[in-house]
Structure 1
Amino acid sequence: MSEQPAVLSKLLRARRNPVVVQSVRSTGAAVVSYVVALQLSNEPAPLTAPLTALLVVQVTLYATVTTSVRRVNSVVAGVLIAIGFSALVGLTWWSLGLIILASLLVGHVVRVDEFVPEVAISAMLVLGVTQVGATAWDRVLETVIGAVVGLLFNLLVAPPVWVEPASRAIDDLAARMAALMTGMVEELSGRTTVAEAASRLHEARRLDNDIAGVDAALRQAEDSLRMNPRVREGLVFRLVLRTGLDTLEICAVVLRVSARALTDLAKARTEEEPLFSPPVTRAVQDLFGHMALAVHSFSRLVTAQVSPNAEEQERRLTAELRMARRSRDLLADLLLDQVRGAPAQWQLHGALLADADRVLDELDVDKRSQRLLEELDRHSRLRYERGRRVREAVRRVRSGRPS
């Protein structure tokens, strides 16, 4: 009996999983488009319709609309090229080469983007049949059927919103950054070797690949919020996540510079000599520990969807930043005393303090709010400019009409 609730819970989670939802929607659109094409097309197996629906029903409504237009354009362009060639030449090796070249060039001219090969594919398939005219327009009809069914599926069966996967990706990135900060300073208690410091530097460099993956997930989430009737204030969600990732990306770059400074410090001293004195080591560990917690709280603040939770995360972030700044001031005093005894390393010590200042400044709550307001203002201005250009175009059209 206890297993049944667990199974039901898994089924409910799978039902809400964006991947499962997208797979079911794509399958349903392909089947419906095939059934419709069987009734309207003369082809015995109109597979172009389900293929088009499968490609058109993208992850988001915004991508579906733009993809539908480009795909229909690519098929129509290929069919028209095939009709023109069929009136002049038959199917030979040189005519095949000409039609492929012409189709690829036309595909770039009509700007169908990723569907440029589809222009050549449509032209070759139509040119290779006996009755070019009938088959050509059947292929256009099937393509239109698949595109229309795909659009209707996105309007009637709402596409999934990919904000939650993007939020998880941002949280995972922040967790890796926090773990790297903690690992960098945990080694300071012993005799940190150059190889150990260099391994942390390589780990910091690998964050660039992680950021690229998070950016891809965030672009998908941004597209899922556009033109989605289920989402209110989609622009705010998009800007919160995007500005949050921008901040973490800056912090990752600064973290890589800090790892570089620690590696250079490890190279600049003897094998038996520690990187810092015990008081400085404790201060560095305390500073980076609070910075790691601040990064974690910042990601939770960015991805929080419930207002009370966001307020709680903001309080935690403010507290961690306050303690981190106290640790930074203490570390500055201790490093100043150490630099007086070893002035040759003052640049590297100063670099660590400057890097800490930059991270704390980027994570600051007030700066985050200011950045969000600036982005909202910028998007409002862009929206106003687009509306103004549309209104001016309408007025010019109306003024040009005969009275």
Structure 2
Amino acid sequence: MRVTASVRSAKRSPLLQVAKSAIATIGAWLIAGWLIPGPLPVFAAIAALLVVQPSVNQSFAKALERSIGVIVGVVIAVALSLLLGAQSWVVLLAIVVAMLVAWALRASPGTGNQVAISAMLVLALGSSNLEYAIDRILETLIGVSFALVVNALLVPPVLIAPARRDLGLLGTEIAASLDRLAAALSSTQRPGDLQGLMVEARLLRPMQAAAAASVSAGEESLTLNPRRAARGEIAEMRALLDRLSPIVTQVIGMTRAFFDHYDDTLAAEPTVHAIAEQLRRAGHDVRLAVQVADIAPEPAAETSAIPALTAPLQVKPPASGHWILIGSLMEDLRRIRGGIIGDD
């Protein structure tokens, strides 16, 4: 592992995020310094810097974490100072006590660290009387509040584009996988062809995970966000993802069954050709669902606006060597149809 991988991310944070953090930090410093004369408003600046997060919801969570951590840490520092005096070893004791208190309260790692840091700073930077403690708490609340306002009002992020992109790619690849399986069912396959078909089907799983993560990030970015116009759009994406995710499982399962039970006489089964036709129709309707949601990366002109999937097939008993595979394909096809038309 390269050493730089521990300190560098794959991509830079948006410059707007840097600007908002700078505005929040400077503003909190100036406001706290004006309202609370005395020591430099370090607590306000630190609070503002930490609270500005990629989303308003994350900022709110960080604000709670920071506020609670500071209050508990300051109380611990003042209590120990009043009991034991202003000795240097009291700072170390305060850190240990703060960590133990956070552990006893089952605080999150961020909150626990904040309790210990606040207790240390109060004892190390200044007086530990009650007035000083109250000023530091108020200073922190000023920084937290100003950072929340900045992050909420200054172009709060809406992560819709990544969700639209990843979900569109997933739908397009599901349709392509259905088409590939339909073509394979109707023709003789070589071992390399079967391996390639299986590998391509399995690639649907990481694409599904990426789409789910992007949709969740989009939902999270809109929580507590005053920009509400995109909430209906992200709700539609979530509904489409919920429809497509089971189809991913069915496509992989059908491909696996075909891989495990394939033989060269399979293409002679009339039912197999009927199943292949239904798979093509299912692929068409997946593309149509993606295009209706307006998330297709490259809309296909040949996709009709009319759903193509027919009613479930009525089949004759297959040859004895194929009934397990055909039965499995039929059941998965039934589930795919139910997912496309929304009938569980």
Greater CA drift, 280-289 or 351-360: 280-289
Cα distance between partner residues in 2 of 1:59 and 1:344: 57
Cα distance between partner residues in 1 of 2:124 and 2:221: 39
Q: How does 1:4-403 map to 2 (within 5 A)?
A: 19-39=14-34, 40=36, 42-44=38-40, 46-89=41-84, 90=87, 91=89, 96-106=95-105, 108=107, 114-129=110-125, 131-133=127-129, 136-137=133-134, 139-188=136-185, 189-193=187-191, 196-197=193-194, 200-201=197-198, 203-232=200-229, 234=231, 236-266=232-262, 269=263, 273=264, 275-277=266-268, 283-303=274-294, 319=306, 321-322=307-308, 324-325=309-310, 329=313, 333=315, 336=316, 339=318, 342-364=319-341, 367=342
CA displacement, residues 207-243 of structure 1 (integer Å, 9 cap, x when unaligned)? 4443333223222322333444432483x43432222
Cα distance between partner residues in 1 of 2:197 and 2:135: 60
5+ residue gaps, structure 2: 1-12
Residue 318 of structure 1 deviates from its aligned partner by 6.0
Residue 137 of structure 1 deviates from its aligned partner by 4.5
More relative contact order, 1 or 2 (CA 8 Å, 6+ apart): 2
Residue 63 of structure 1 deviates from its aligned partner by 3.7
Please state which structure has a larger fraction of its residues in helix: 1
Cα distance between partner residues in 2 of 1:318 and 1:163: 25
Is the partner of 2:322 in helix, strand or coil? Answer: helix
Is the partner of 1:325 in helix, strand or coil? Answer: coil
Is the partner of 2:214 in helix, strand or coil? Answer: helix
Structure 1 pair 42–212 and aligned structure 2 pair: CA distance change class (3 A): farther
Is the partner of 1:363 in helix, strand or coil? Answer: helix
Structure 1 pair 202–119 and aligned structure 2 pair: CA distance change class (3 A): farther
Size of the aligned set, in residue pairs, is 322
TM-score (norm 1): 0.66
Cα distance between partner residues in 1 of 2:32 and 2:320: 80
**Residue 4 of structure 1 corresponds to which residue in structure 2?**
none
Structure 1 pair 156–228 and aligned structure 2 pair: CA distance change class (3 A): same
For the aligned residues, what is the CA RMSD?
Answer: 3.7
CA displacement, residues 38-57 of structure 1 (integer Å, 9 cap, x when unaligned)? 4446344x444343223323
TM-score (norm 2): 0.76
5+ residue gaps, structure 1: 1-17, 306-311, 372-403
Residue 275 of structure 1 deviates from its aligned partner by 4.4
Contact persistence 2:48–2:143 (CA under 8 A): yes
